[in-house]
Amino acid sequence: MSARGPVQVRASVLSLKKVGAYHHLTLVAPGIPERTRPGHFVTLAVGGPDSALLLRRAFSAYRVRASGAYGGTLEIVFAVRGDGTRQLAALRQQDEVDVVGPLGRPFALPKEPVSCVLVGSGYGSAALFTLAARLQERECSVHMVVGAPTEEQLFGALEARRTAQSVTVTTEDGSVGIRGPVTGPLPDLLARTGSEVVYASAPVGTLGAVADLAAQHGAWSQCTVETPMACGIGVCMSCVLPVLGDDGITRLLRGCVDGPVFRGDRVRWEAAGA
C-alpha cells in the first residue's frame, strides 16, 4: 500500500532556476513524493527560525520523484509576490527548507478512459503535468490549454507539447499563440473533442469562467483554487470558500483541507474571495 498523510521534513535545495517570470525549485524531500497525488500542495517555512514571517507559504506540487540519485525530490514553480516568495527566490543549493506535505484533496480521476481538457494559466499550469500523466496511464486523451498574460508568464508550453494529444497556447497580449484569455479556445475545443471532464488551475476569475463553459458543454469540471492561507491544516478558517452542497445549502469550506480542488459547478464563484 502506498504511503499516505502529510509529513514534515527538513528538505534541502537541489536546484533553483529562473524559468521566464517564475522560479523552479527542486528540493530533496524524502517521504513527500511517494505520498503526493496530482492536485496536492505543500507548505514551506520561509525566512528561517528567527524570521518574523511566521506563516508557511503554500505551493502546488509540480513534479515528484520518489527515488533517484539524491533521494525523493519535490519540485515547485513559484512567482515572487511578497517577502516570503522573495526569501525563497534567494535560496542557494543545499540550503535547508522546512516542508509540510502533501496537503489538501487531490484531483479526482475518471473511472473510464474519457477525453479530458486541462486548462492552466500562468504558474497554475505546473499543477497539471502529473495529472496529465495519471490520466494517460488510464488511457484518457488529454488536451491542454496553456495561457498567460504574456509570453514570459507562460509556463510549460513545450512540456505540454510533449505530454498532451493537443495543445493550445494563448497570451492576452498576443505575444505567442492565440491572443486573448485562456478560456477563449475552450468552447471549440470542448465541442471538437467531446471532452467529458475539464481540470483547471488558474486565478479565481478564470476558474469561474472555465466552470461555466464546462457546464454549458455538459462537462464535469474540477478546479484547484488558491485561497489566502494561514495555517494550511484546517484550523484557522482564513481560506474559506462558498460551496454549494448536495442539499442545496451553501457552506464555507476550507481551501486547505476540503480543497484546494473543488467541483467547478459547486463553487459560488461570484462570492469567492468576497
Ligand X SMILES: Cc1cc2nc3c(=O)[nH]c(=O)nc-3n(C[C@H](O)[C@H](O)[C@H](O)COP(=O)(O)OP(=O)(O)OC[C@H]3O[C@@H](n4cnc5c(N)ncnc54)[C@H](O)[C@@H]3O)c2cc1C
Binding region for ligand X (CB under 6 A): 41, 55, 57-60, 76-79, 81-85, 123, 126, 226-229, 255, 260
Among the listed ranges 20-28, 63-71, 87-95, 252-260, the one in contact with ligand FES (CB under 6 A) is 252-260
Asked if residue 55 binds ligand FES (CB under 6 A), the reply is no
Residues whose CB is less than 8 angstroms from the CB of residue 181 and which lie 6 or more positions away in sequence, other chains included: 147, 170, 172, 206, 209
Asked if residue 229 binds ligand FES (CB under 6 A), the reply is yes
Number of residues that bind ligand FES (CB under 6 A): 13
Strands 41-44 and 57-60: antiparallel
55 binds, among ligand FES, ligand X, none (CB under 5 to 8 A by kind): ligand X
Identity of residue 22 = Y
Q: Identify which of residues 7 and 89 has a Cβ nearer to ligand X in the complex.
A: 89
Among the listed ranges 44-52, 84-92, 174-182, 229-237, the one in contact with ligand FES (CB under 6 A) is 229-237
Question: How many Cβ atoms are within 10 Å of 50's Cβ, its own excluded?
Answer: 5
16 binds, among ligand FES, ligand X, none (CB under 5 to 8 A by kind): none
Among the listed ranges 75-83, 121-129, 152-160, 251-259, the one in contact with ligand FES (CB under 6 A) is 251-259
Residues whose CB is less than 8 angstroms from the CB of residue 172 and which lie 6 or more positions away in sequence, other chains included: 147, 148, 149, 150, 179, 180, 181
Phi and psi, residue 50, nearest 5°: -95, 5
231 binds, among ligand FES, ligand X, none (CB under 5 to 8 A by kind): ligand FES
Among the listed ranges 140-148, 149-157, 163-171, 234-242, the one in contact with ligand FES (CB under 6 A) is 234-242
User: Which ranges of 27-117 would DSSP assign to H, the alpha helix?
Assistant: 83-89
174 binds, among ligand FES, ligand X, none (CB under 5 to 8 A by kind): none
How many DSSP H helices and E strands does the chain contain? 5, 16
Angstrom distance (rounded) from CA 139 to CA 213: 24
For residue 242, what is its C-alpha cell? 462558498
Residues contributing to the site for ligand FES (CB under 6 A) = 229-232, 234-239, 254-256
